[in-house]
Structure 1
Amino acid sequence: MMVLQQKFAPSLTARDDALVERMDEPSCDRDTLFRTYADFPRVNRVVSGWRTTYLSQIRPRFTGPVHSLVDIGSGGGDVARALIDWARRDGVKLDVTAIDPDPRAADYVRTLPPALGFAYRECSSTDLVDEGARFDFVVSNHVLHHLAAAELGTVLADSKRLARRAVVHSDIRRSGAAYLLFSAFTAARFRGSFIREDGLLSIRRSYSRDELAALAPRGWTVKTQAPFRLLLVFERHTPGA
């Protein structure tokens, strides 16, 4: 494996936060961006592990028939919709507010059919804090590696203020094996979108466990999840406080 990594993968010893993903460029092609959003459900089902995260981090904290959740940086909203469906199967009405400050994401979501319990807003986590909003759960998927240090601090502080029960930020755990497997998985798929190119850049921008733990404020816990996931978790031991 080490020989293969050296031959086919860039050095992943250190996080390369200077890289810019194509879909983060304001001038990126809109049609390609929308195809990328449309491909996210297939990709996230394979690589993001949100079913496992839901079962281990969210469902055990349900205490009644109705709960609320905000998904920060929701993009096309596929993770948010999946969480609603899983909770419904478990007999819980999960009202999810998906937020993203990128107007292009909001434009894409407007092309989708409505879903019960799903609301989408073009705003930031700070906007919600300023409104005095509160939710039982705060989550994000593949957001942390996009953020500069100051932005990361802001999102984590906002998340604590917004959450009555728990925060779960899920992201990629950087490794050569993750890079090679994602490269192989996407080699003949997702043409006409940014999935392959940006996915490989995302792995290079993402954290190792120790790197994320070093940045995590007091009270936050970094957990690993197979195969290549990091969960940055904050639990409020007095719900609603």
Structure 2
Amino acid sequence: MTTKFKYRSYKQELLDETNIQKNLLFKNLWELDIMNRNTGGHAITLKGIKQLVTDHTKLYHIVDFGCGSGDSLRTIADWARKNNFNVQLTGVDKNANVIDYLRKHCRTYPEITGIIADHQVFIDQNRTVDIVHCSLFCHHLNENELLKLFTYFSENVKVGFVVNDLQRNWMAYYSAWFFTRLLNGTVLAKNDGPISVLRAFKFSELKYLLEKANIKNYIIEKKQLFRFLVVGKTSNYGTFSA
């Protein structure tokens, strides 16, 4: 058991395929939305966003890589509206059907835009943004891809970034296996839930990648139900209190 969780797995998840049946994909996006709402995933994202969005006079451009259904973007938009912050929200996903789903479910949110693109293509276009958000996205990437992403944070992102992702341990793995079956999840959920944990992170792995990307001003917190919250700020936007 120790060996199984010692290193990150590179086994592919079904959700990474581009030819997923649309009805199955949409049901899985709905499942992920329900999970984030009911297990505190959205609350973790907002805790990070609140540390970066603080100026009522500024328009913040926030980009969500691997945006999925747009559930995180809607959560951020609702919070921003309620608290009188100005945000422009961009969801980036390489699957056109995912962006179709996002556009349908975000149609009452003019501040949300969906873009069909691989995140690396987006990065290579050298677009400068204020904040990047990644929820349950980083574990889909290998170390080289993560280093490139984190270097983009360091060199191109004006305000900061929020990473909301999974911890890798045996309890998280077997919880994912058990609950996706107890709740009769889709074949995507049953397959990808446990694999997501095997592809997830240890604290030391995240710390190593962040510092290798020359990111110094960040915090990593362990959150409920086997999540990590990573929040980073640029040098112009203050430091985290000890």
Shared topology, TM-score over 0.5? yes
**Partners of 1:59 and 1:87 within 8 A in 2:** no
Please give the per-residue CA displacement for 1:60-96, whole angstroms capped at 9, x wherever unaligned.
Answer: 3311243221111112211111111122222213221
Pick which of 154-163 and 198-207 moved more.
154-163
Aligned match of 2:229: 231
Q: After TM superposition, list the pairs within 5 Å mapping 1:62-211 onto structure 2.
A: 62-65=54-57, 66-114=59-107, 115-211=109-205
Aligned match of 1:3: none
Pick which of 197-206 and 126-135 moved more.
126-135
- Per the TM alignment, residue 121 of structure 1 is displaced from its structure 2 partner at its CA by 0.6
- Per the TM alignment, residue 141 of structure 1 is displaced from its structure 2 partner at its CA by 0.8
Say which SS state the counterpart of residue 6 (structure 2) adopts.
coil
Instruction: Give the gaps of 5 or more residues in structure 1.
Output: 1-5
Pick which of 182-191 and 222-231 moved more.
182-191
Pick which of 218-227 and 89-98 moved more.
218-227
Aligned match of 2:43: 51
Say which SS state the counterpart of residue 50 (structure 2) adopts.
helix
Please give the per-residue CA displacement for 1:28-62, whole angstroms capped at 9, x wherever unaligned.
Answer: 3332122111221111123463313423x222331
C-alpha spacing 1:135/1:178, structure 2 compared with 1 (3 Å): same
Structure 2 residue 17 is matched with structure 1 residue 25: yes
Structure 2 residue 212 is matched with structure 1 residue 219: no
Say which SS state the counterpart of residue 233 (structure 1) adopts.
strand
**Partners of 1:213 and 1:222 within 8 A in 2:** no
C-alpha spacing 1:129/1:176, structure 2 compared with 1 (3 Å): closer
**Partners of 2:56 and 2:84 within 8 A in 1:** no
The 1-side partners of 2:152 and 2:104 are apart by: 29
Say which SS state the counterpart of residue 197 (structure 1) adopts.
helix
**Partners of 1:125 and 1:158 within 8 A in 2:** no
- Per the TM alignment, residue 209 of structure 1 is displaced from its structure 2 partner at its CA by 0.8
The 2-side partners of 1:121 and 1:160 are apart by: 23
Please give the per-residue CA displacement for 1:82-124, whole angstroms capped at 9, x wherever unaligned.
Answer: 1111222222132211111222322332443512311111124
Displacement over 6 Å in runs of 4+: none
Q: CA RMSD in A?
A: 2.4
**Partners of 2:154 and 2:215 within 8 A in 1:** no
**Partners of 1:129 and 1:161 within 8 A in 2:** no
The 2-side partners of 1:219 and 1:201 are apart by: 28
C-alpha spacing 1:197/1:225, structure 2 compared with 1 (3 Å): same
Identity %: 23
Pick which of 90-99 and 155-164 moved more.
155-164
Say which SS state the counterpart of residue 75 (structure 2) adopts.
helix
**Partners of 1:172 and 1:230 within 8 A in 2:** yes
Pick which of 162-171 and 219-228 moved more.
219-228
The 2-side partners of 1:129 and 1:211 are apart by: 22
Aligned residues: 230
The 2-side partners of 1:124 and 1:159 are apart by: 16
Q: What is the TM-score normalised by the length of structure 2?
A: 0.83
Instruction: Give the gaps of 5 or more residues in structure 2.
Output: 238-242
Question: What one-letter code is carried by the residue in structure 2 that aligns with 1:233?
Answer: V
The 2-side partners of 1:12 and 1:48 are apart by: 27
Say which SS state the counterpart of residue 231 (structure 1) adopts.
strand
